[in-house]
Amino acid sequence: PYNGDIAIKLIGEQIKCVILSASDPYAVYGLMKAYEIVPDIVTGIASNTIAGRAMVEQLCGVKALNLIDFSTTRELKQILTERTGFVL
């Protein structure tokens, strides 16, 4: 992200949950390495298929959710509650 690293450093302690929307698993991996950020959830095109989700989870070690699929709502709420402390 353009100057995103500066913004992250300035507000880093206030960030409770990182949700990354990515086009492919390698984009997730590249961002993690370049900016030393580990997202709590990956979504976007990278998570639209079973194979994409599996690759994100194996390559990057982070949870991938297809947020278009309503069956992921419970898991999304659980992760957000754990990270933010807000009961959803």
pTM listed for this prediction: 0.88
Give the pLDDT confidence score for residue 35 in this predicted structure: 83
Give the pLDDT confidence score for residue 1 in this predicted structure: 56
* C-beta pairs of 60-68 under 8 Å, 24+ apart in sequence: 60/25, 60/28, 60/29, 60/32, 62/28, 62/32, 62/38, 65/41, 67/43
Q: How far apart are CA 85 and CA 50, in angstroms?
A: 29
Give the model confidence (pLDDT) of 15-58 as tens digits. 999 999 999 999 999 999 988 889 999 999 999 999 999 999 99
Is residue 64 predicted with pLDDT exceeding 70? Answer: yes
